[in-house]
Amino acid sequence: MWTARRVRAQNLARLIRRRYVVPVSNPVKHTRKSALYRRCTGQSEQVGRRVPGASLQSALRCLLVIAVATLPACTRQQYADQADRTAYKTLANGRRIATGESNGFDITYRPLVCEQGSPTTAPADGSPGAAASTRPHATTDPAASTGPAASTRPAASTGPAASTGPAGQTSLPGFRVGSKTIRLGAAQPEALALNECLEIAFRNSRALQTRKEQLYSQALALANASRGWDTPLLGGPGKGSALWTRTSKGGPDAEGGVFAQGFTLSQKLRNGGALGLGLALDVLNNLTSLGSTSASSLVSANFTQPLLRGAWGGIAHEGQYRLARDFLISLYEYERYRQELASQIAIAYYGLLRRRDQLANDQANIARLEYTLELTRERVRGGDVSAIQQDQAQQDLLDARSRQTGNQNEYANQLDEFKIRLGLPVLVSVEVDYPGELARLREGGLHPPAVTAEQAMAAALHSRPDVLSRRAAVRDAARDVDLAANDFLPALGLELGVNAPGTPKRDVWAIRTDRTTRSAGVSFDYDLDQTDHRDAYRNAMLAHEQALRDYEEFADSVRLDVLKDLRELDRAQAVHQIQEQSLAVARRRQTLAQLEQSKGQASARDVLEAESALVAAQNATTDALVSYLSTRLSFLSSLGLLEAGPGGLIGERTEAVTFERIVERYDYLQP
């Protein structure tokens, strides 16, 4: 940055020399440019005479020179790139400590977007065909990307997808997921499997993108706050001004310009001290000529150290210490959030399968009730049964259609909410893969987690991110007691300094080391009224005791959550086994009731009750299966036994993800 500024200043000086200073060998040009130079500097052709308004022009030129010399050497995009490099470096170092991984982290949002399709053309034989092509799009895998650069993955590309249609027509806007084309407003919705929904969620999820951006901002704040602690901090203000005044009727006139630039190098010490080096440069000009410029400089060094309050014990570094620790905790929370997001998407998908299965059961039930109603009508016409049975069958059919309408509305609302959770437009035409996904879940069966209650409670206390936050809160509360006690001490500080001026008037870089000024001082400050400090100290003690009680209650609640999940798994497994038996009985009863009704041995009421029992058993069986699988996913996620791989694919781990790496650095976080 400073190199670019120096180049600008050199180019500006070279331009002035070329414009106002010429060789004597060309007297005509020399005379013309000398006159131009005198006009620019406020002199007329007669020496000593001023041109009205020329000093104002000189002042404006001086300000222009100052502005050009101090323009920032970086563009907005370059500053953004600098911030990215700083944040990504901080994130990589933090992830290496917190999770043992240092692969890249990218906050660039590259969702699957819907774009207008290309016009379709007809093949040579005149039959409809698709001639539109797909444009590959670079995507970034949130788990396996390497830095801000995106990696290409053709399995999920954006851009206008190929479509079939009459010649000259334009396909609906859409995008591809794997080999499937998803379009807005399509008449036939595209069925998405669970893995495809997870892939979309990890590309489009707005909640995940927000978490990534928050983590990025936290890394940027940590890197900014670390300046001056980890490495010396370079800084210094630059200021300049120019003034021109004229007083009418022979009053005093004034004009002048000044520019000051300071350079500082400061280093903070963990014991509360601070070391600083500085260079100050002042330039003055009366705006009449370049030869009237004078400059001065001053080199200084100083050291400050508190001796009582705020000294020693890392008290001054406490804020930076907490910031770095909380950043590592946030990194671990983000990795666990990816697992939780995958489990939440899967649970929501299971809920849609359950609702979709209810619609299928309702449709099958309505078809059977319509058959029962027609059969009952035939028997009423023949005088075999009372018309009351026909009314009963018709009323049950109407009730079934009403339930189907309500379930269809609930399914549509739940599906639209699921689209938003995935980050898809509400108008996109998708649905769950039914009955394929549900059939695979049923074939997979129920598999209880291979952990005991004691193992599960221990794993939860060593893997849940909120345990880290609660343990850190207990330590901070205890530390706050020490900080409050330190405020009782008087503020006693030591100050040492030395400075040396440059050589006036032009040789400002020749520092006069023989004319140094040394200083040493001690400052003292103490307030006899310590009431505020007393109250703060006592409140800190109470806050520490409360933090201890809160953590004990929190640890018990973690253990209780584990026990509740285990009990719910046992209950759901038992209910599922019972409902499977109930479903077998209901199917046998429904088949027998229809057979006996056709033979005139059963009434319409017997058939209607059997139909109602069958639908209830079908829905209850699916509910028990979905409830068990959802509870199991949530349980494994809370223990760190789920793994969200590339694209959000869910896998089970044999060993839980724990925060032992963070505990190795901060041992007080051990539960």
Query: Tens digit of pLDDT for each residue in 614-647?
Result: 999 999 999 999 999 999 999 999 999 998 877 7
The pLDDT, as a whole number, for residue 159 is 38
Cα 499 from chain centre: 47
The residue written with tokens 């497994």 in the block is 573
| 512 residue type, one letter | R
Cα 465 from chain centre: 17
Q: How far is CA 133 from CA 120, 122, 176, 632, in A?
A: 10, 14, 12, 43
Residues in the chain: 671
Q: Domains in the chain: how many in total?
A: 2
Q: Among candidates 459, 504, 423, which has minimal Cα distance to 636?
A: 459
The pLDDT, as a whole number, for residue 118 is 39
- Mean pLDDT (the chain) is 82
Strand partners, 524: 492
Strand partners, 500: 299
The full DSSP string for 435-481 is THHHHHHHHH-----S--HHHHHHHHHTT-HHHHHHHHHHHHHHHHH
Q: Are 129 and 120 in contact (CB under 8 A)?
A: yes
In a domain, 614, yes or no: no
The pLDDT, as a whole number, for residue 122 is 32
Q: What pLDDT digit, counting tens, does each position of 549-587 carry?
A: 999 999 999 999 999 999 999 999 999 999 999 999 999
The pLDDT, as a whole number, for residue 474 is 98
The widest CA-to-CA distance across the chain, in whole angstroms, is: 134
Q: Are 232 and 267 in contact (CB under 8 A)?
A: yes
What DSSP designation does 148 have? T
Q: Are 383 and 611 in contact (CB under 8 A)?
A: no
pLDDT beyond 60 at 25? no
- Report the SS3 class of residue 258: strand
Rounded to whole angstroms, the Cα distance separating 201 from 112 reads: 10
In a domain, 384, yes or no: no
The pLDDT, as a whole number, for residue 260 is 82
338 burial level (CB within 10 Å; 0-12, 13-18, 19+): buried
- Residue 30's CB is within 10 A of a number of other CB atoms, namely 14
Rounded to whole angstroms, the Cα distance separating 401 from 490 reads: 82
Task: Kindly compute the dihedral angle of the four CA atoms of residues 462, 464, 467, 469, in this order, to the nearest 10 degrees.
Answer: 130
Rounded to whole angstroms, the Cα distance separating 15 from 95 reads: 51
pLDDT beyond 60 at 40? no
pLDDT beyond 50 at 21? no
| 171 residue type, one letter | S
In a domain, 96, yes or no: no
**Which tokens sit at 659?**
């925060």
Q: Among candidates 440, 456, 453, 446, which has minimal Cα distance to 641?
A: 456
In this prediction, residues 455-470 reach a mean pLDDT of: 96
Better pLDDT: 73 or 452: 452
pTM: 0.80
Rounded to whole angstroms, the Cα distance separating 216 from 26 reads: 63
Q: Among candidates 339, 334, 349, which has minimal Cα distance to 197?
A: 349
**Which tokens sit at 305?**
């150290």
pLDDT beyond 60 at 338? yes
φ and ψ at residue 146, rounded to 5 degrees: -120, 85
Q: Which of the given ranges, 133-147, 512-526, 536-550, has the highest pLDDT on average?
A: 536-550
The pLDDT, as a whole number, for residue 280 is 85
Of 71, 89, 105, the position where a domain reaches its end is: 71
The pLDDT, as a whole number, for residue 497 is 96
**Which tokens sit at 502?**
């440059």
The pLDDT, as a whole number, for residue 146 is 36
Helices (H) and strands (E) in the chain — how many of each?
Answer: 14, 13
Out of 40-54, 107-121, 207-221, 422-436, which region has the weakest mean confidence (pLDDT)? 40-54
The pLDDT, as a whole number, for residue 252 is 66
Close Cβ partners of 283 (under 8 Å, ≥ 6 residues apart): 258, 259, 260, 293, 294, 295
Rounded to whole angstroms, the Cα distance separating 240 from 59 reads: 12
Rounded to whole angstroms, the Cα distance separating 221 from 215 reads: 10
pLDDT beyond 80 at 236? yes
Band of pLDDT at residue 506, cut at 50, 70 and 90: low
Q: Please give the residue range of the domain that contains residue 282.
A: 234-244+254-316+491-525
What DSSP designation does 660 have? H
The pLDDT, as a whole number, for residue 166 is 43
Q: Among candidates 177, 175, 110, which has minimal Cα distance to 145?
A: 110
In a domain, 48, yes or no: yes
Of 10, 41, 71, the position where a domain reaches its end is: 71
The pLDDT, as a whole number, for residue 249 is 67
Cα 36 from chain centre: 59
- Report the SS3 class of residue 8: helix
Quick check: bond before 505 cis, omega within 30? yes
The set of long-range contacts for 485-488, using a CB threshold of 8 Å and a minimum separation of 24, is: 485/537, 486/309, 486/310, 486/313, 486/315, 487/309, 487/533, 487/536, 487/537, 488/530, 488/533, 488/537
Rounded to whole angstroms, the Cα distance separating 87 from 309 reads: 34
Rounded to whole angstroms, the Cα distance separating 220 from 231 reads: 16
Q: Are 113 and 156 in contact (CB under 8 A)?
A: no
Band of pLDDT at residue 502, cut at 50, 70 and 90: confident
Out of 64-73, 314-323, 377-386, 650-659, which region has the weakest mean confidence (pLDDT)? 64-73
The residue written with tokens 């259609």 in the block is 401
In this prediction, residues 253-279 reach a mean pLDDT of: 87
Q: How far is CA 446 from CA 78, 243, 574, 625, 627, in A?
A: 55, 85, 11, 8, 11
Rounded to whole angstroms, the Cα distance separating 323 from 223 reads: 10
**Which tokens sit at 602?**
């059963």
In this prediction, residues 531-546 reach a mean pLDDT of: 98
Q: Are 156 and 181 in contact (CB under 8 A)?
A: no
φ and ψ at residue 281, rounded to 5 degrees: -130, 125
Out of 21-35, 249-263, 343-357, which region has the weakest mean confidence (pLDDT)? 21-35
The set of long-range contacts for 666-670, using a CB threshold of 8 Å and a minimum separation of 24, is: 666/325, 666/472, 666/475, 668/471, 668/474, 668/475, 669/468, 669/471, 669/472, 669/475, 670/471
In a domain, 309, yes or no: yes
Out of 218-222, 509-513, 522-526, which region has the weakest mean confidence (pLDDT)? 509-513
The pLDDT, as a whole number, for residue 151 is 35
Q: How far is CA 590 from CA 573, 595, 604, 605, 612, in A?
A: 25, 9, 12, 12, 9
In this prediction, residues 644-657 reach a mean pLDDT of: 84
**Which tokens sit at 383?**
């005088």
- Which is it for the CA torsion 604, 605, 608, 613, positive or negative? negative
**Which tokens sit at 495?**
């100050």
Q: How far is CA 18 from CA 160, 288, 385, in A?
A: 58, 19, 117
The pLDDT, as a whole number, for residue 245 is 73
Of 499, 525, 551, the position where a domain reaches its end is: 525
The pLDDT, as a whole number, for residue 129 is 35
In this prediction, residues 598-609 reach a mean pLDDT of: 92
The pLDDT, as a whole number, for residue 341 is 95
pLDDT beyond 80 at 161? no
Q: Are 278 and 300 in contact (CB under 8 A)?
A: yes
In a domain, 282, yes or no: yes
In a domain, 436, yes or no: no
φ and ψ at residue 491, rounded to 5 degrees: -85, 100
The pLDDT, as a whole number, for residue 433 is 96
Strand partners, 567: none
In a domain, 37, yes or no: yes
The pLDDT, as a whole number, for residue 292 is 63
